[in-house]
Structure 1
Amino acid sequence: LGQCSRIFMVWLVTHSIKPIQNEESVVLFLVAWTVTEITRYSFYTFSLLDHLPYFIKWARYNFFIILYPIGVVGELLTIYAALPYVKKTGMFSIRLPNKYNVSFDYYYFLLITMASYIPLFPQLYFHMLRQRRKVLHGEVIVEKDD
């Protein structure tokens, strides 16, 4: 899911919509992603070498607390900045009638994408907090069966 959202943000939003490329929100999500990936791959590399410094482990399970919300805010503000351009140009939209008898409106797709952050962000964020507790504090999380 994470990689798909990054491809979407880079290619279908930021790269495709030139007027938003200088938005400060783009810097927000790019910095958050960059620090996240440096931390993640440092963690993987040192783990593979069987020499994981505590700071790298600590960073892997703590930096997200700030970086994840910063990245999400940057992504949402960037999509929001793209909305007027997408509405005006109709980019990536398919209007009826056409030979395939299909309609797609990229503007509404972006609105639905933004709305999807409401249920998904807390779910993913709290999952990461549980992982953090388990790894850094050795807590065993017992999931309830419904």
Structure 2
Amino acid sequence: MKRIYITTCWFFILLQIQNEESVILFLVVWTVTEITRYSFYTFNLLNHLPYFIKWARYNFFIILYPAGVAGELLTIYAALPYVKKTGMYSLRLPNKYNVSFDYYYFLIIVMFSYIPLFPQLYLHMLRQRRKVLHGEVIKES
């Protein structure tokens, strides 16, 4: 869902950031991630899962996940000046809905939300990796 949001809400609309290196970074990371993920699912459905595919699924994220998050955050950061200048996706008062929304501050909140969420998700993947590749049972505290 996040990928749809990132690509439709500002990547394709905001032409000024499409040439950022961070865009290439997260697109390459997403591509490798999806190829690995869907290869894993396909071979698993066929009941013929090569060890390399399983290994890739549970090891590539160690590098790809932080790189993808860095690319996403850098791209959002690059978009901030344009969003602020244009008022993109913002709704100012007065209006018929009597509601105000500032997309610039929303993006800043999204960026800060990575601070508590990223470590939780990354540690979850590390636990899954240990369980699947090493057969360890992890007790949640």
TM-score by length of 1: 0.95
3-state DSSP of counterpart to 1:97: coil
Q: Which runs of 5+ in 2 are unaligned?
A: none
Within the alignment, does 1:50 sit opposite 2:47 as a pair? yes
Q: Which amino acid aligns with 1:134?
A: K
Within the alignment, does 1:95 sit opposite 2:92 as a pair? yes
Taking the aligned partners of 2:12 and 2:116, their CA distance within structure 1 comes to: 27
TM-aligned CA deviation for residue 143 of structure 1: 1.5
Deviations 1:84-135 (A, max 9, x none): 0000000100000111100000000000000000001000000000000000
3-state DSSP of counterpart to 1:51: coil
Which of residues 75, 78, 81 in structure 2 aligns to 1:78? 75
Instruction: Give the corresponding residue for 1:24.
Output: 21
Q: State the superposition RMSD in angstroms.
A: 0.6
Which of residues 24, 28, 38 in structure 1 aligns to 2:35? 38
Q: Give the number of aligned pairs.
A: 141
3-state DSSP of counterpart to 2:88: coil
Q: Which runs of 5+ in 1 are unaligned?
A: none
- Identity across matched positions, percent: 80
Instruction: Give the corresponding residue for 2:130.
Output: 133
Q: Which amino acid aligns with 2:124?
A: H
Within the alignment, does 1:113 sit opposite 2:72 as a pair? no
Taking the aligned partners of 1:85 and 1:59, their CA distance within structure 2 comes to: 38
Moved segments of 4+, more than 6 Å? none
Taking the aligned partners of 1:44 and 1:132, their CA distance within structure 2 comes to: 16
Taking the aligned partners of 1:13 and 1:120, their CA distance within structure 2 comes to: 22
